[in-house]
Structure 1
């Protein structure tokens, strides 16, 4: 191992660049749908050794001394996001005649921009670098800070955070309750990087003990929570039908297809339940499932009311129009709740819009160069202002999330809402049969664990499912399936929703403690008296 590490440390030029790219690409295989954590245990030690060798020329001063580490981190990040997010380009091929020219921007440009967060992490870690376990602590803290910044800056895009690699199954997801996303990122990078100590003798035994101990605590806590879940969850359930029509994105806004699409949703809604099953209390359609404005088709609301019973509620993703301030109309990506009389009794407008997908940042400026958002059928969306539970009837309320809103960590902290479940409607048909829908669904599972609430997800095309408050899939529909999923969703007991303490505080405390330890270790290693 020392020989291998030595060769990696001594790499320079193209060799170092290729190694950093390959390590980042390998690390992406630890994410869904591959779920191969061993890849991270290889990739991060390689990154540590590359940073060991990323030493600036003696004449460089100040921040310029961090340049080699910065570019190693950028190349690692570029490989990571290139392999992990290449599928975003698939959305541009839906209307290839309009957007194919932008394919390089999605496949290469987005990873190139996101890679700067990992470049920042590598450079920051290098400030407190040492020759032993301290450098691993510094790298873990720096990556956790970079991932936090990635979730908040420029509207945020926390897709495939490195900590998610440590949570491929529900037993490994439970630590989120205590650590939050920040804590998971810190400890995941720390543990993934520990094999780098095999190339030297300093702190090897400490590293082995910490690695085994942290993994044991992580999985042991998860096993304990799940074992208690079987005994503590209440028997109260709500019957929900989830509609997945799998409409091709190329047909979704075709004027000639709209009646057929609407009827396909109605047919799935009125499909008889299996013998012995109760009729659903709530029926959920996917994002923008109604292919026209209700103001243009008032008959559609009547048809929806006729499709459900008086005691049922139907949630439908729609485009909602409202008169704008300059005489035009503002459009919203919305969810409406419809009762058995065909009346809209509640509604929610999407708060977090997708940049370049649902709105164009700096629109007045960028539109001069021919740039447009993908949602061209209405000229883009406006953002809602607040997120609040929707009234689903029978004393049940659901906290709504439209599409990628569900990827943001901590967006529904445990005990912070009166809602009894999370509702996520989406349209992943944009991404086809790629890793995208699987990664999106995985992040929805994490929100269920964080909140302790069951989550029901209706996708136009995969992956529709019901997940309990521990991230366990109750039932679901596969990608490309067409169907109506009838499921009884267990409500989490009130006792299970009481947080052990303020969510995520432990994660930040761990980050601070490890950061202080890494800094002190760095200062000690520089002291000539030691």
Structure 2
């Protein structure tokens, strides 16, 4: 089971080997059927989940290696430790699906239960819904654009439900395989149809200048090169804005620095803000990632909007979803891994209304992985900006999987997204999730992109995660409902 789960992780970006799910899930469901009891099925599901998440999250080890002098003992535990927390999410559907009779009904039950429990990952600590199986359709290029369009209706969790179903259907024999092929064809046609029937309207969104300083995390932690880091960002901003202004036309220009890019307390540093304002001369605003201390002395991971030559703080946003073990200390741990007291969480997503700039929703780092939780429903923005620092995770699958989440949020919400990453990958996507431009890993430079317009609010944007929840429950009704043998006959219900 461990090997099957680990191999299934090859379906995630950047490998994108979706067909591997078919044999891997076949091994799991066969083991569930062969188990003597629900406990045995749960153990098999647990092992599958352990392999899946250990392999899928292998890159967490890179973050420990950055501070290996202190946390060397955690190096072999980082990925398996997180996988141990997540593995019960796979054990539960493996056990509960045995309530349904073996065969197609059990397959339906497994798909619905897998989706519901996988959605429950948002409640683990501060939430960790990384790598739902629906992300396996984020293939590079036009094919990926087509296959992720249904997320505008059912979200990435709805795609997870469909993905599991398609992978399981071949187990139902020839008819199941034909049904899988038909479902895949309908999926593709629906995606192609949405692209064809929802053209992007004229845009009043800005031209964004995404600044990628490419500062190694060891330099940021050391703090010995703060002046050089600041000068680097100023120089990149100056050249990027100067290049963007002539072609911007009537669009405003907005420059964006990554998460915690400013090496200090920007809110309290008037001189630094004026220097940033001068470097971005001609831009309508600058979006700067920086730490801050609130009035109670609590540290917050923030992003600030600066306007005018004085670099006035026009608005700020504090990160709401904090990274467990990275930004705050879960109380369940018997040892301390987060420096100091950790950080304080913000009050939730919101929309900025900056002078001469279309309304924008700021997101910090992995907040963008939370499907249905990236937009203020009462004040919908016209675009999203995501600042992040993936330098912790090296040149691994981690930054690529993070970027895939950004692309999926664009489709779900029908909003263009601009993303500035410290060491990469900086990129921009239109409201269809089509990549407009990118600046690759471990490169220093500036990416200038004219953002497209938003689409009308999507079905998923309006109803959110209720849609995949209802779809998953709909799978469970025929799967777990009583089976009637004949008219007036008694229901035949399978037990665990």
Query: Shared fold (TM-score greater than 0.5)?
Result: yes
1:189 partner SS: helix
Paired position in structure 1 for 2:53: 81
Count residues with an aligned counterpart: 481
The superposition leaves residues 472-507 of structure 1 with CA deviations (integer Å, 9 ceiling, x where unpaired) of 1001111111111011001124xx335387344443
Paired position in structure 2 for 1:246: 214
Distance 1:313 1:132, change over 3 A: same
Paired position in structure 2 for 1:59: none
2:243 corresponds to which of 273, 278, 282: 273
Paired position in structure 2 for 1:14: none
1:113 corresponds to which of 81, 85, 95: 85
Structure 1 segments unaligned to the other structure (5+ residues)? 1-19, 56-64, 199-203
Paired position in structure 2 for 1:6: none
Contact 1:414 1:503 in 2 (8 A): no
Contact 1:174 1:470 in 2 (8 A): yes
Contact 1:31 1:164 in 2 (8 A): yes
2:418 corresponds to which of 449, 453, 456: 456
Q: How does 1:97-496 map to 2 (within 5 A)?
A: 97-128=69-100, 130-168=101-139, 169-198=144-173, 204-205=174-175, 207-229=176-198, 231-271=199-239, 272-273=242-243, 277-278=247-248, 281-294=253-266, 297-309=269-281, 311-324=283-296, 329-340=297-308, 341-362=310-331, 370-373=335-338, 376=339, 379-412=341-374, 417-493=379-455, 496=456
1:241 partner SS: strand
In 1, distance between residues paired with 2:359 and 2:245?
A: 28
Tell me the CA shift for residue 281 of structure 1. Answer: 1.0
Contact 2:304 2:316 in 1 (8 A): yes
The superposition leaves residues 239-281 of structure 1 with CA deviations (integer Å, 9 ceiling, x where unpaired) of 1100011100000132321001111111100014179533861
Tell me the CA shift for residue 357 of structure 1. Answer: 0.2
Structure 1, 106-115 or 165-174: larger mean CA deviation:
165-174
2:477 corresponds to which of 505, 511, 516: 516
Distance 1:151 1:296, change over 3 A: closer
TM-score (ref. length: structure 1): 0.85
In 2, distance between residues paired with 1:413 and 1:259?
A: 35
Distance 1:167 1:484, change over 3 A: closer
Contact 2:382 2:454 in 1 (8 A): yes
Distance 1:187 1:255, change over 3 A: closer
Distance 1:190 1:344, change over 3 A: same
Tell me the CA shift for residue 511 of structure 1. Answer: 1.6
In 1, distance between residues paired with 2:448 and 2:109?
A: 48
Contact 1:389 1:398 in 2 (8 A): yes
Distance 1:472 1:33, change over 3 A: same
Structure 1, 511-520 or 80-89: larger mean CA deviation:
511-520
In 2, distance between residues paired with 1:242 and 1:524?
A: 64
Contact 2:303 2:317 in 1 (8 A): yes
Structure 1, 267-276 or 511-520: larger mean CA deviation:
267-276
In 2, distance between residues paired with 1:142 and 1:502?
A: 21
What is the CA RMSD across the aligned residues, in angstroms? Answer: 2.4
In 2, distance between residues paired with 1:524 and 1:504?
A: 36
2:153 partner SS: helix
Distance 1:505 1:217, change over 3 A: farther
In 1, distance between residues paired with 2:12 and 2:148?
A: 13
Distance 1:29 1:380, change over 3 A: same
Contact 1:45 1:194 in 2 (8 A): no
In 1, distance between residues paired with 2:384 and 2:39?
A: 44
Paired position in structure 2 for 1:43: 24
Higher-Rg member (1/2): 1
